[in-house]
Amino acid sequence: MRALHRKLIRDLLGSAGTLVSVIAIIAIGTGSFIGLGSAQRILEASQQAYYRDYRFADFWVDVKKAPLSAVERIAEYPEISALHSRVVFDVILDLEGEVRPLTGRLISTPDQGFDHTINGICLVRGSGFSDDRNEEVILSEAFAAAHGLNIGERITLILNRKRQSFVIVGTAVSPEYVYMVRGVGDLVPDAEHFGILYVKDRYARDVLDFKDSCNQIVGRVARGGQVDVDTLLDRISRDLAPYGVIETTPRKRQASHRFLSDEITGLGVSATIMPAIFLGVAALILNILMLRLAQRQRTNIGTLKALGYSDRRLMAHFLGFGVVVGVLGGVAGMGLGVGLAYAMIGVYRTFFQFPEFLTRAQPDLLLIGMVISVVFAVFGAARGVREVLRLQPAEAMRQKPPERGGTIVLERLPWFWRMLGFRTQMAMRSVFRNRTRSVTAIVATALATAITFMALAMYDSFLYLVDYQFDMVAHSDVDIGMRDEASMPALYESRALPGVDEAEPVLGVRCDLQHGAQSRRMTVTGLSTEHRLTTPRDASGEAIQIPDEGLVLSRKLAELLDARVGDVIELTPVRGRRETRNVHVASIVKSFLGIDCYADLHYLSRIVGESLAVNSIQLAVDPVQSAALFREIKELPNAQGLSVRADAKHNIEKTLVETSVFSIGLMVIFAGVISFGSTLNNALVEIGDRIREISTLRVLGYRPGQVAGILFRQSAVTFLVGLLLAFPLGYGMVKLVAAAYDSELYRMPVIIRPVTVVLTAVLAVGFLLVAQWIVYRQIAKLDWRAGVQVKE
């Protein structure tokens, strides 16, 4: 082995303590790159394979009732490669031992070959439909698992106003419900209260009065040509218009697909930003370390140059530090990354229902991670060494001239400066004279604290979102959806249900909204004039009253339609007389889930051109009587769906807490490593540089704590500046994340609770104190008797 290699190894071992923190930060950077990148690829590959193997649809068309003959005509479009018609209904489920009626989505499915149809289903348990009987059901696996339902057991559905018992013959997953939400507007899957029920196709059509007809068409487009699905859907809408097209959904707007795709995109963004932050900080710290190492080895460098070593060769020698640190950080990062990927897939398993996660190793990502790690480390090292290498050997061999001893800016305020006392003065001078080191410390503290702040603030955002949507806007305890529209007497009947304090009618009408070039098909929600159970709120959070005329849009919808208050929108109901009306935007409200459009119930009925009707009822109920109420609801023939606000809220909160513990915990640990590593590293470099000064103070009789106090003051100054910068920086990060997630599915409110600010500061101080404790131990252990004899 060459002598310089030996020197490299011994120098590395000699500064192992300080290098560990850099290696840890690099490992986190590389680990997050590999972990997030792998998770993204695994998710994407699983999605693609699943969509391909089970023929995930390119579009959905919901109609009131279309004859199969009309569907067959559409199937002949050249753009369409496959078409499948089915019957889809939300139904009430009555499970034995479950007080609450649950909502199920019944989907008619071919008796055989259901795995080969569009949106094919993949059996997880059971053997599928038999020839023995009609009343068989395949349940979505997550729902079955949530209720401990097994093959051969029975469940009761209310089908076409009749209670019907079904035998469970299988459990399954489907590409349509990878993320099992009812639709846009739901935030997280709720397997306990919502399940998919696959029943035999012919039987479903018979029992639901859909013989030779259907209410949903799903299709795939021909792969070869560039098919514009939106244009295709327009054409299908026109052709099926006589049968009442309720909704057309291209894949890009399908709820499950959007959640999954957004997650994959988000992972890709995180896999770029996180590593960049961590590796950037690592490079800065390594830069300081190397500068110091090079300065300490000034004489060595000069001697080697005098011996005839070229700058290039010496550069290579010092870059060896970078390479070793980079490789060690890279290897640790690989381990961390693989672990992180597995942990993330573990979390995703609870959200996304796949037949299998394609958890392949990603050798190229590992390799790229390693390369990035080494490049950042070498870059950090190079910057540090360059300055010393530039010197002529004779100059390098002379001791470095004393540090600039001039006064610092604070000394221009003599009254303030004198107040500080000599130990603080020493600390302040050091902060001002070692600018690069101080700036790095500030940057590291600011970034680390901002990351912690962002992680905690995101939790605040979600909590606020849930409170806002489930307490401030919605006040009803139970919402009952009805299969067929009912007239007002149904409302009075519902008021007679046990424990009902209040009941309000709601009419949801699918409408096309058009403003200029922008258009949207969506449900306009008609609220009663005296609505108290739903209170949309304006931007300032004030509840607003739905006006007698005009529409109330949520901010996101207004953005999508490019509409402002007072603008006139063309509204066309997709049922009834379908007359286009010009309606004005009366106000814009704040909403974080889905997109909303409200109107007065009577006004909406007039627009549709029908007499007053309702299709769901909101109830405020006395919790004591809820069991009796649920029993009655199970018997309501017209009930189609049910949602209990407390359950929905609880489900979201539970899911958020579970995932937040993982993601916030991870972020805080990562941020802690940056903060702790940087503080510790700076202090250790400082001890090395000032060993003589520290030793002298010890000789004079200062206790280790008093000496450590000087270094602590110095860290505290950069820490405080970093902390002050961290909050605006963190706030900016929260804003950026909120902007990144601003979609039709949901928006993140930018809300920061005071406790988050306090907790962030406490965590940051905690990291600082732990690092300072180690510094104190180092000073206590320092051989100060030898220190005073160190040759300058």
Partner 1 sequence: MAVASDSRVASRALMRIEGAGRVFRMGEVEVPALVDADMSINAGEFVVILGPSGSGKSTLLNLIGGTDRATCGHVWHGDSDLAGMSDGELTEYRRTVVGFVFQFYNLIPTLTAYENVQVATELVANALNPTEALAMVGLGERADHFPAQLSGGEQQRVAIARALAKRPALLLADEPTGALDLPMARNVLAILQRSNREQGLTIVLITHNPAIAGIADRVIRLVSGRVAEKRVNEKPLAAADVAW
Interacting residues of 682 by C-beta distance below 8 A, sequence separation 6+: 288, 437, 440, 441, 715, 718
**Helix pair angle (311-351, 16-53), 10° resolution:** 40
Residues paired with residue 88 on neighbouring β-strands, in sequence order? 107
Residue from 206, 209, 234, 395 that binds partner 1 (CB under 8 A)? 395
Nearer to partner 1, 1 or 517 (CB): 1
Distance of CA 184 to the CA centre of its chain: 16
Q: Are 694 and 687 in contact (CB under 8 A)?
A: yes
Cα–Cα nearest to 549, from 484, 605, 470, 610: 605
Residue 320 CB coordination number (10 Å): 19
246 by Cβ neighbours in 10 Å (0-12 / 13-18 / 19+) ranks as: middle
Residue from 2, 162, 223, 781 that binds partner 1 (CB under 8 A)? 2
Q: Are 748 and 461 in contact (CB under 8 A)?
A: yes
Q: Are 290 and 284 in contact (CB under 8 A)?
A: no
Residue from 244, 268, 393, 498 that binds partner 1 (CB under 8 A)? 393
- Shortest Å distance, C-beta 8 to partner 1: 9
- Shortest Å distance, C-beta 14 to partner 1: 7
- Shortest Å distance, C-beta 444 to partner 1: 29
Stretch that binds partner 1, among 388-396, 540-548, 589-597, 748-756 (CB under 8 A): 388-396
Is 272 a residue that touches partner 1 (CB under 8 A)?
A: no
**Per-residue contact string for residues 197-226; x = within reach of partner 1 by CB under 8 A:** ------------------------------
Nearer to partner 1, 7 or 581 (CB): 7
Can you tell me the distance from the alpha carbon of 503 to that of 609, in angstroms, rounded to the nearest whole number? 24
- Shortest Å distance, C-beta 392 to partner 1: 5
- Shortest Å distance, C-beta 266 to partner 1: 48
Residue from 3, 409, 496, 517 that binds partner 1 (CB under 8 A)? 3
Stretch that binds partner 1, among 52-60, 270-278, 394-402, 457-465 (CB under 8 A): 394-402
Nearer to partner 1, 13 or 700 (CB): 13
Interacting residues of 580 by C-beta distance below 8 A, sequence separation 6+: 570, 571, 572
Torsion of CA 563, 565, 569, 575, to 10 degrees: 110
User: DSSP readout, 53-93?
Assistant: HTT--SEEEEEEEEEHHHHHHHHT-TTEEEEEEE-EEEEEE
Nearer to partner 1, 397 or 628 (CB): 397
- Shortest Å distance, C-beta 792 to partner 1: 11
Residue numbers 296-355 binding partner 1 by CB under 8 A: 299-300, 302-311
Interacting residues of 767 by C-beta distance below 8 A, sequence separation 6+: 448, 672, 675, 676, 679
Residue from 88, 246, 276, 397 that binds partner 1 (CB under 8 A)? 397
Cα–Cα nearest to 36, from 564, 666, 484, 733: 666
Number of residues that bind partner 1 (CB under 8 A): 26
Residue from 7, 520, 692, 735 that binds partner 1 (CB under 8 A)? 7
- Shortest Å distance, C-beta 303 to partner 1: 4
Stretch that binds partner 1, among 2-10, 348-356, 555-563, 614-622 (CB under 8 A): 2-10
Residue numbers 687-716 binding partner 1 by CB under 8 A: none
- Shortest Å distance, C-beta 782 to partner 1: 18
Q: Is 84 left (phi over 0), alpha (psi -120 to 50) or beta?
A: beta
Can you tell me the distance from the alpha carbon of 674 to that of 282, in angstroms, rounded to the nearest whole number? 8
Going by their DSSP bridges, the two strands 597-600 and 518-527 should be labelled as: parallel
- Shortest Å distance, C-beta 320 to partner 1: 13
Q: 634-666 burial, b if ≥16 CB within 10 A, otherwise e?
A: bebebbbbbbbbebbbebbbebbeebbeeebeb
Can you tell me the distance from the alpha carbon of 193 to that of 647, in angstroms, rounded to the nearest whole number? 8
- Shortest Å distance, C-beta 722 to partner 1: 34
Cα–Cα nearest to 727, from 450, 445, 457: 450
Nearer to partner 1, 375 or 691 (CB): 691
User: DSSP readout, 690-713?
Assistant: THHHHHHHHHHT--HHHHHHHHHH
Nearer to partner 1, 394 or 565 (CB): 394
Going by their DSSP bridges, the two strands 213-221 and 136-140 should be labelled as: unpaired
Residues paired with residue 105 on neighbouring β-strands, in sequence order? 90, 196
Residue numbers 525-554 binding partner 1 by CB under 8 A: none
Integer angstrom CA distances of residue 591 from 265, 266, 310, 468, 504: 23, 22, 67, 8, 21
Nearer to partner 1, 2 or 162 (CB): 2
- Shortest Å distance, C-beta 13 to partner 1: 9
Nearer to partner 1, 144 or 388 (CB): 388
- Shortest Å distance, C-beta 297 to partner 1: 8
Nearer to partner 1, 293 or 473 (CB): 293
Q: 3-state DSSP: the chain helix, strand, coil percent, rounded to 5?
A: 55, 20, 25
Q: Are 520 and 535 in contact (CB under 8 A)?
A: no
Nearer to partner 1, 299 or 580 (CB): 299
Nearer to partner 1, 150 or 299 (CB): 299
Nearer to partner 1, 274 or 314 (CB): 314
- Shortest Å distance, C-beta 781 to partner 1: 19
Nearer to partner 1, 309 or 342 (CB): 309
Can you tell me the distance from the alpha carbon of 545 to that of 529, in angstroms, rounded to the nearest whole number? 8
Residue from 127, 231, 392, 407 that binds partner 1 (CB under 8 A)? 392
Scanning 487-546, the segments in alpha helix (DSSP H) are: 488-495
- Rg for the chain (alpha carbons), in Å? 33
Residue numbers 10-29 binding partner 1 by CB under 8 A: 10-11, 14
- Shortest Å distance, C-beta 317 to partner 1: 11
Residue 78 CB coordination number (10 Å): 9
- Shortest Å distance, C-beta 11 to partner 1: 6
Can you tell me the distance from the alpha carbon of 531 to that of 548, in angstroms, rounded to the nearest whole number? 12
Nearer to partner 1, 308 or 754 (CB): 308
Can you tell me the distance from the alpha carbon of 185 to that of 658, in angstroms, rounded to the nearest whole number? 21
Nearer to partner 1, 310 or 706 (CB): 310
Nearer to partner 1, 3 or 517 (CB): 3
- Shortest Å distance, C-beta 375 to partner 1: 27
Nearer to partner 1, 309 or 731 (CB): 309
- Shortest Å distance, C-beta 699 to partner 1: 22
Nearer to partner 1, 127 or 407 (CB): 407
- Shortest Å distance, C-beta 310 to partner 1: 5
Phi/psi at 585 (nearest 5 deg)?
A: -85, 115
By CB under 8 A, name the binding residues for partner 1: 2-4, 6-7, 10-11, 14, 299-300, 302-311, 392-395, 397, 791
